[in-house]
Amino acid sequence: MQQAESKENWINLFGEKTWRGSECMMGIRLMYHERPVGLNYHERPAGCLILLADHFKTVNERDKGILTYLVNIYHRIKDCNDRKIGHGKGLPPKNCKFV
């Protein structure tokens, strides 16, 4: 989403400030047990990971890689949480590794 294309929503997310219009964000919604998680926004859960860039042209492969990395961590945590715990109290399954 680019600031200039969605000014009202942008202000709702990031606050009232002098924006240039070239700022942009990338994000992914967080889900838990097939339901969105996070703070309530208009009576609905709205958790997400957001990457904010000062200018849409500065979004590069590194930024996309950071977002992908965070999403992969989220999916690993979700996968471990979704599995039955079978080898001890409160421990994740042995094949779940957090990095």
Q: What is the rounded CA–CA span in Å between residue 69 and residue 96?
A: 16
Please tell me the pTM assigned to this model. Answer: 0.47
Q: Residue 63: is its pLDDT beyond 50?
A: yes
Supply the pLDDT for residue 36. 67
Supply the pLDDT for residue 81. 66
Q: Residue 67: is its pLDDT beyond 70?
A: yes
For the stretch 12-54, pLDDT in tens is: 888 888 888 788 887 777 766 666 666 666 666 567 777 777 7
Residue 3, class by beta-carbon neighbours within 10 Å (0-12 exposed, 13-18 middle, 19+ buried)?
Answer: buried
pLDDT category of residue 85 using cuts at 50, 70 and 90: very low
The DSSP secondary structure of 12-29, one letter per residue, reads HHH-S----S--EEEEEE
